[in-house]
Amino acid sequence: MMHDPTMNLYLSVEQVASRFGVSKDSIWRWKREGEFPAPVKLGGNTTRWRLADIEDYEGRLRCGLAMFLDFEPVGLS
């Protein structure tokens, strides 16, 4: 059985927010709404998300956000 290195990598709420281009408050709201992966409590006030859980979530998203599309429309003239 192969070991998946992402299983042991954890992201802070700041890193997760940056990854999705949203605020930390948005991450916590998504978590409360139940659609976003649950974080892991590592002890004390330390809460992190498993990178593997985030990647799995990303793989299940229905669509992505395109910030810029570089193409010329065809047949509209």
> Packing angle between helix 13-20 and helix 24-33, nearest 10 degrees?
90
As a whole number of Å, the end-to-end CA separation of the chain is: 57
Enumerate the β-bridge partners of residue 50: 10
Q: What is the C-alpha separation between 75 and 33, in angstroms, rounded?
A: 44
Lowest mean pLDDT among 7-11, 22-26, 39-43, 64-68: 64-68
pLDDT-derived band at 60, boundaries 50, 70, 90 = confident
Q: What is the pLDDT of residues 28-47, one digit of tens each?
A: 999 999 989 999 999 999 99
Torsions phi, psi for 11 (to 5 deg): -115, 140
Amino acid at 6: T
Confidence (pTM): 0.70
Higher-scoring residue by pLDDT: 26, 6 = 26
